[in-house]
Amino acid sequence: MSRYKRADHWTKKAKAQGLPARSVFKLEEIDQKIPLVRKGGRYLDCGCRPGSWSVWIRRVAGADAALLGIDVEPCEGYPGTFLQLSVEDLTPDMVREHLGGPPDVVLSDMAPNTMGHKDTDHLRQIALAELALWLATQLLPPGGAFVCKVFDGRDAPAFVDAVRVHFDSVKRLKPKATRSNSREFFIIGTGFRGA
């Protein structure tokens, strides 16, 4: 259950649009500023539960888009292929098999179950971001894109630098739908240079 008791503007807006969670508006804003989602295409959604990002992608990209969602928790009604497993157990071959080829975009909204200890939560989240980046470098075709949530902290700049190694353009964005007290931001890498 969420620690946030009262629904804010974004939560109410998501509910009114039949979307599972407010996080959808983060991806929508990212896509408005840096177009990533197109008709068709293949998308890997790491940490997909409750499915908002993929539901939105399905609406934008259409029925021909291939979606693969990964999460350690069940995700009922996922609008594509869902695998309940840890990203640590996901292999590039599994992704290609389920998507019918390499993803055009690798998305990660992964976060650990937070403990309330700022540094520990940061380090655990960065470890997940590093796994997502590794998958992206193993899977994306040249020109592909990567979107990743990051908890700000001492290791965040090094992670951003690691993303820059692989992409022509790297932007940092804190979408408006992010809670004001949240330390999260998103890194968007476009123009993957190839492994």
Q: Is residue 16 part of a domain?
A: no
Residue 85's pLDDT is what?
96
Higher pLDDT, 1 or 152: 152
Cis amide leading into 142 (omega within 30): no
pLDDT recorded at residue 11: 62
1 is a domain residue: no
18 within a domain of the structure (yes/no): no
What's the domain range around 171?
24-192
Q: Is the pLDDT of residue 8 over 70?
A: no
Q: Is residue 50 part of a domain?
A: yes
Range 109-116 average pLDDT = 78
Residue 149 sits in a domain whose CATH number is 3.40.50.150
Residue 175 lies in a domain: yes
Asked whether residue 73 carries a pLDDT value surpassing 80, the answer given is: yes
Q: What is the mean pLDDT of residues 119-134?
A: 92
Could you give the number of structural domains in the chain? 1
Higher-confidence position of 103 and 19: 103
Give the range among 75-79, 112-116, 138-142 with minimum mean pLDDT: 112-116
Quick one: pLDDT at residue 3? 45
In this prediction, residues 41-55 reach a mean pLDDT of 95
User: pLDDT digit string (tens) for 172-190?
Assistant: 999 988 877 778 999 999 9
Q: What pLDDT does 1 receive?
A: 36
Percent of the chain with pLDDT over 70: 86
Task: List the catalytic residues.
Answer: 149
Task: For residue 119, tell me if it sits in a domain.
Answer: yes
Domain assignment of residue 5, yes or no: no
- Does 2 reside within a domain? no
Tokens standing for residue 12: 């109410």
Q: At what angle do helices 92-99 and 118-139 cross, to 10 degrees?
A: 60
Per-residue tokens: 115: 């403990």
Q: What is the pLDDT of residue 192?
A: 98
Transcribe 41-62 into DSSP letters. Answer: -EEEEET-TT-HHHHHHHHHH-
